[in-house]
Amino acid sequence: MNKLEKILARVEKPGRYVGGEWNAVKKDWDQVAVKMAFAFPDVYEVGMSHLGLQILYHVVNKRKDALMERVFAPWVDMEEQLRKEKLLLFSLESQRPLADFDILGFTLQYEMSFSNILNMMDLAGLPVRSAHRDNTMPLVIAGGPCAFNPEPLADFIDLFVIGEGEEVIHELIDAYKEMKQRGANRREMLLKFAQTIPGIYVPSLYEVKYNNDNTVASVTPMKEGVPGRIGKRVVRDFDNVDFPTNPIVPSMGVVHDRAMVEVLRGCTRGCRFCQAGVLYRPVREKKPETLIRQVEEMISSTGHDEISLTSLSTADYTGVAPLVKNLLDIYGERGVNVSLPSLRLDAFSIDLAKEVQKVRKSGLTFAPEAGTQRLRDVINKNVTEQNLVDAVSSAFKNGWSSVKLYFMIGLPTETYEDLDGIADMAKKVVQIGRECGVPRGRLKVTVSTSSFVPKSHTAFQWEPQNTLQELRDKQKYLKEKLRDKSITYNWHDPETSFLEAVFAKGDRRLGAVLESAWTKGARFDGWSEHFDYGLWMEAFAEEKIDPRWYAYRRISYDEVLPWDHIEAGVSKRFLIREHKKAMAGQPTVDCRSGRCPGCGLCPTLEIKPTILGGAEIAPIQGEV
């Protein structure tokens, strides 16, 4: 029995660490020029539910000259065993230590996974700081939504990939291979990548200067040819882009255990709090025939019994109704279900849900986000109370008895009247349920509130977050207001949201805090059972950094933001205009309507939205 077997006998869910799943790729190590490890800084069950992992795994392993293996954050019991037995963190496929790879790539999905990134490097035997790693060690790269404000991780990550990864990763591997053959060292490589590959950000090549009031004065490249601003990468031909129709089938129950087909990328709605809505612009729809072919390939290669039509807003897909009907006709007989991850608040969505949940009515989820029309106009969530009334009436009449409603609290300009609005809406839904004849015992309305976290690259990036006390008061108020046998109220831990805001809007100086918190034992901060707020506050105190300054300060438009040099394609001018319109309670058009709101993305990236059969949108050029 080897050391690994010994420790696997001592941890819960050892299946997390052994690989061997269907469609996993194990290559001959010595026959491959460039070896990459995809590192997901959370447990297997979370990481294996992530479509981005499957896409990059497929794209890299398709190449003859490269391989990609996986590694997930070991759960605390596994970490204890690894440290006790002095085993280095290893990849699932070949069970090799991560230090053997050329490139170690982290995905940044969530700020609260940052401590796990440091921990995984440490478990791999690598110094956590970029400056302390030498030429014998892998390049540590990172991408994903949180790479759009990479600054809090600047001390630890050698290189960030900004934007969509499936094309730029080839350029990176090609360049790496060429430089490795020439015997280049990591400094030379990083400089070359930064100079020649669009969308690559090497933080060590930039100098950050601060003003006396602690705000950022400037971020400037220190070497010639290194871009001052880094624009995001975006896939132009989304219909033809490589997509994994042979994804790995997890060997144990994971969060999303189904075949995921990406119906469209991006979202046109323009909710002002939403970062994804900006990062994944412009909207690009796949052709229905492409989707049908991909689903067929996927079902026969995986054996999954459920197809999920994923995207930020699947109900917005131009041909969604015929697509769903078509898939149900083909797969219903074969015992394969179709699922839609999110629904719009309208009767059309209920018709869709009716199609896909013919037998089992498992419950419907809607996200009005705010309780009053005034506040919904502020955030540009273009749904009305009438939409909600229509949608839930239709749902109750069609046999559903439980409805979930998602709201955000602490949104800019929110007052207690808006909270009353949340309670009123919930009660109204209960009343509609009763009127529609749902039996008292079965009628269930669940209200969930998350706390608003201002994010970079959004119209609300200048806005302060509510304080912990304000959020707690609001939660308490709602708890009182929502006292009803048919209503269940769930809320988020405000401390987590606070820390999320600090890192979402943080700068390079937070690196020291992150390292200190990790040294004190911060791990799995997104898991309430492991999140230790006190420990983080100690770390801030020791580094003499006030987290409130990052989360609670109203930022002025002319301030240099720590992430201003990372460009998502939407102009800052547009975001300022959106912010002003928000304060005035004015909505902005959806570009799906055919009218261009003038976000500046299309002319900047020289791209256009792909909306099937939709009106041609003529993007506004130049100044808006």
Task: State yes or no: residue 15 binds other proteins (CB under 8 A).
Answer: yes
The one among 125, 198, 303, 399 contacting other proteins by CB under 8 A: 303
Q: Tell me the three-class secondary structure of 43-111, residue by residue.
A: CHHHHCCCHHHHHHHHHHHCCCCEEEEEEECCCHHHHHHHHHCCCCCECCCCCCEHHHCCEEEEECCCH
Pairing, β 259-262 against β 306-310: parallel
Task: State yes or no: residue 399 binds other proteins (CB under 8 A).
Answer: no
For residue 355, report the phi and psi dihedrals to the nearest 5 degrees: -60, -50
Shortest distance (Å) from residue 118 CB to other proteins: 28
The CA-based angle 35-47-515, given to 5 degrees, is: 80
- Which residue type does 99 have? A
Shortest distance (Å) from residue 120 CB to other proteins: 21
The one among 80, 239, 297, 305 contacting other proteins by CB under 8 A: 305
Please return the burial class of 396, using the count of CB atoms within 10 Å of its CB with bins 0-12, 13-18 and 19+: buried
CB closer to other proteins, 257 vs 470: 257
Strand order in the sheet with 259-262: 259-262, 306-310, 337-339
Task: State yes or no: residue 8 binds other proteins (CB under 8 A).
Answer: yes
- The residue range among 55-63, 295-303, 440-448, 490-498 that interacts with other proteins, by the rule CB under 8 A, is 295-303
The one among 125, 228, 253, 594 contacting other proteins by CB under 8 A: 253
The CA-based angle 370-346-355, given to 5 degrees, is: 130
Task: State yes or no: residue 1 binds other proteins (CB under 8 A).
Answer: yes
Neighbours of 236 (CB within 10 A): 13
Shortest distance (Å) from residue 69 CB to other proteins: 14
Shortest distance (Å) from residue 433 CB to other proteins: 21
CB closer to other proteins, 360 vs 544: 360
Spatial CA neighbour of 305 closest among 333, 263, 343, 341 = 333
Please return the burial class of 234, using the count of CB atoms within 10 Å of its CB with bins 0-12, 13-18 and 19+: buried
The one among 251, 365, 373, 488 contacting other proteins by CB under 8 A: 251
How many binding residues for other proteins (CB under 8 A)? Answer: 31
Helix (H, G, I), strand (E, B), or coil: what is residue 423?
helix
- The residue range among 3-11, 214-222, 442-450, 518-526 that interacts with other proteins, by the rule CB under 8 A, is 3-11
Helix (H, G, I), strand (E, B), or coil: what is residue 529?
coil
Shortest distance (Å) from residue 357 CB to other proteins: 11
The one among 76, 241, 249, 321 contacting other proteins by CB under 8 A: 249
Shortest distance (Å) from residue 70 CB to other proteins: 13
Task: State yes or no: residue 21 binds other proteins (CB under 8 A).
Answer: yes
Strand partners, 285: 264
SS3 content of the chain, % helix, strand, coil (to 5): 40, 15, 45
| CA–CA dist 382, 589 (Å, integer) | 9
Restricting to residues 335-364, name those near other proteins by CB under 8 A: 335, 359-360
Task: State yes or no: residue 22 binds other proteins (CB under 8 A).
Answer: yes
Task: State yes or no: residue 10 binds other proteins (CB under 8 A).
Answer: yes
Task: State yes or no: residue 25 binds other proteins (CB under 8 A).
Answer: no
CB closer to other proteins, 11 vs 36: 11
| CA–CA dist 444, 422 (Å, integer) | 16
| CA–CA dist 428, 421 (Å, integer) | 10
Is residue 433 within a helix (H) or strand (E), and if so which, with residue range? Answer: helix 416-435
CB closer to other proteins, 24 vs 596: 24
Shortest distance (Å) from residue 443 CB to other proteins: 19
Task: State yes or no: residue 28 binds other proteins (CB under 8 A).
Answer: no
Shortest distance (Å) from residue 298 CB to other proteins: 11
CB closer to other proteins, 6 vs 485: 6
Lookup: tokens for 411: 């949104």
Neighbours of 100 (CB within 10 A): 16
- The residue range among 111-119, 264-272, 301-309, 587-595 that interacts with other proteins, by the rule CB under 8 A, is 301-309
- The residue range among 183-191, 247-255, 338-346, 598-606 that interacts with other proteins, by the rule CB under 8 A, is 247-255
Shortest distance (Å) from residue 335 CB to other proteins: 6
Shortest distance (Å) from residue 9 CB to other proteins: 4
Shortest distance (Å) from residue 34 CB to other proteins: 25
Binding site for other proteins (CB under 8 A): 1, 5-6, 8-10, 14-15, 17-22, 24, 249, 251-253, 257, 299-305, 334-335, 359-360
